[in-house]
Structures are given as C-alpha cells and as structure tokens.
Amino acid sequence: MNYETIIHQVEDRIARITINRPEKLNALSHLTIIELDAAIDDAADNQAVRVIVLTGAGDKAFVAGADIAEINTLCPVAAHETSRAGQLLMQKIHGLGKPVIAAINGYALGGGCELAMACTLRIAAQEAKLGLPEISLGIMPGFGGTQRLLRLVGPGAALELALTGTPIDANRAAQLGLVNSVVPASELAATVNKLATRLAASAPIAMQNIIRAINLGGESTLERGLEQEAQLFALCFSTEDMVEGTSAFLEKRKPEFKGK
C-alpha cells in the first residue's frame, strides 16, 4: 500500500510505523487513521514481524492530537462515527498480540495520548508532554482516552488530567504509570530499538499469551483471569518454542524461537 501520511518499514522482525505529518505535529487526520489501521493489519498478518514501534516524524511531536480542522466540521452523527473509528483502531493495537512500543518523541496530546495508551509499552523522551486537552475545545476524549487513562493511572489522576486538560511532563507521566520509562531525547531511538530487538528475539506465542492474559485480567474478575492464565499457560506447552526454550536452558545456550 502507498501511504500518504505514514511511513511503514520492516527490518529485523520489527515493523516501524511513523506518523509523517510533521508540519501538522503529526495530527491524526481521517486519512491517517485509515492508513494506521492498514499498517497495523499488515504488521499483524506479516509472520516476519514480531514487534511494532510507533513514533512521530520530527522532534516536536509523537502525535499532537486529532486534526482540529476536521473536528471543527463534525455533526453529532459524524462525531460518533469518528469516535468509533478511532476506538476500533486503538482496540486493534491494544489487542494485537504482538508488542507495540510507543516511542514518544514529543507532544502526545489528545488522540496522540490515546494512541500511546493503546500501545503495549511506552518509552518517552524527557521533553515529551502528555495529556488530554480536549476540554479546552469544548469536547472530551473520544478514542478511548477516558477508559484507558482510568485503567493506567486510576480515577483520581484520570479525572485531574481530563478535567483540567493540562499536559504533564514525562517524569510525572512515569510516576503515574502512564509511561514505562523516560530517557534523554538523544537516547530514545536507541533505547526503543534495544527493547524492540530484545522482544523480537523472544517467543512470539508466549508473548501473545502474556498480552492476552494481562489485558483480560485488567477487565475481569481475578477468578476469570486466573482461569484464562492457566489455559494460556497450557497452550504454551503445545508449542515447539516451549521445547526449544527449555532445552536451550538445560543446554546452556541461547534459544532460537520460531513462533511455532
């Protein structure tokens, strides 16, 4: 597929997807959402891809939000359709089964913060700012922000961030659990690449099962989560990767996982 607003590259089992609208601070337009959805589908279907890295072009923004020029024209019916399209993309990323790393290189606001929250892991540059400033536009988050922020940071911080709309710096985001770690901007690409490379060498089926178990556990009772964990644990024992991993440990060598 020829993309207009993103760059999609695959190398060394890592798909790198870059939102490429730096002149708009990588704002999520309708076309960008469509293209991101297609790129995520491609990465999901590509057996050579084990990890996805999402970032924004330039050094100012990951994604600074939705495209306000488009938002300004929406009627309630179109707004509902836009919200659902964004939510479905975020759900696809959240439940992909392959780790998705957000490399937050600058502003991650509104839809950009929602995109980052849908990812499996989030690494932020020290200069990054995160938040949900929709209240300042007379609207509210619509791409899953109220629900994912609640689950990541708890109701108190979620209400504070969504009601005030004030962005927070990367260090506070890390304190709240909104990002996993913070690094100097000059080290962001290398840090993310090191993490992605490590995950790409891990057992794909086991990673998929871990993501599924944790995602389900965050949305269900403990008993249901434990039952699902046991089932997924058992499924790992039907894979060649389990034999390879345990054999490599006993033989004191590095395992080579095939995703089978």
Res 211: pLDDT: 95
- Domain ranges (residues) in the chain: 6-200, 204-250
Angstrom distances, CA of residue 260 to CA of 175, 237, 239 = 38, 11, 6
- Superfamily holding 6-200: 2-enoyl-CoA Hydratase; Chain A, domain 1 (3.90.226.10)
* pLDDT value of position 165: 96
pLDDT at 118: 97
pLDDT of res. 218: 84
**pLDDT digits 0-9 by tens, 46-91:** 999 999 999 999 999 999 998 898 999 999 999 999 999 999 999 9
Query: What is the pTM assigned to this prediction?
Result: 0.93
Choose which CATH entry (1.10.12, 1.10.10, 3.30.230, 1.20.58) describes domain 204-250: 1.10.12
pLDDT, residue 205, reads 95
Q: Per-residue pLDDT tens for 211-242?
A: 999 999 888 899 999 999 999 999 999 999 99
pLDDT digits (tens, 9 = 90+) for 90-121: 999 999 999 999 999 999 999 999 999 999 99
CB 118 within 8 A of CB 108: no
How confident is the model over 162-184, as a mean pLDDT? Answer: 97
Q: List active site positions.
A: 114, 134
What is the mean pLDDT of the segment spanning 238-250?
94
What pLDDT is attached to residue 170?
Answer: 97
Which residue from 147, 149, 153, 98 is spatially nearest to 120, judged by alpha carbons? 98
